Amino acid sequence: MTMKRWKKIWNILGGLLVALAVAIFVVPRFFGYVPLGMCSAGVRCEYPQGSLLYIQKIQPEKLRVGEPIAYYRGTLKRQPIVRRITRIDYSNGQFMANQDDSDFAADIVPFSDLYGAPVSFYLPGLGTAFTELQTLPGMVILFFLVGTYLVLNYYFGALAKGEWPPPTEFR
């Protein structure tokens, strides 16, 4: 294969990866969906562990018993968790949620901690990577991979034009 063909293949693969990342992480936000990485088995048998869920904001009036829900637990409000609603108490402005359908060890959650409801579409296996990329080591790795891609893109371009290796003249 010639170097121009390698350059073309490299550009096509890079473009496809960027388009895929935009389609998975950016486009859903325009429709009101927020990606959420589910690293543990929060709702049993509903979503596989490590899935990337799409969460849609929901009003407390639309909550239904038995449906999965994403909410913040505790005062830190870092990462929402996904559980199944077991009871709703509109008079006190709260609901109960648990991993299964029992009320044993259920979380009592005020409506103010409600994050949203998962839609039926999810991507298995991408949730863990999405969650890890939001950490500092994940961002460093992503920065390194993008930098490596840019350096290799420049190198393949120079090779395709015949500008690499640079001429070595000594005067």
CA 98 to chain centre: 23
**150: containing domain:** 1-31+126-161
pTM, to two decimals? 0.75
The CATH number given to whatever domain includes residue 67 is 2.10.109.10
Which helix (H) or strand (E) element contains residue 161?
helix 136-161
Q: How many domains does the chain have?
A: 2
Q: How far is residue 140 from each of residues 5, 143, 146, 157, 158, measured CA to CA in Å?
A: 31, 5, 10, 26, 27
Give residue 170's pLDDT: 61
pLDDT in tens, the chain (171 residues): 677 787 888 889 989 999 998 899 889 989 999 888 876 665 555 788 888 899 999 999 999 998 888 888 876 667 788 888 888 999 999 998 887 655 567 888 899 999 999 888 888 888 888 888 888 999 999 999 999 988 888 887 777 777 766 666 665
What is the residue-wise DSSP string for 2-36?
A: -HHHHHHHHHHHHHHHHHHHHHHHTHHHHTTEEEE
In a domain, 12, yes or no: yes
Q: Say if residue 71 is in the same domain as residue 110.
A: yes
pLDDT at 54: 92
Based on the domain organization, do 120 and 142 belong to the same domain?
no
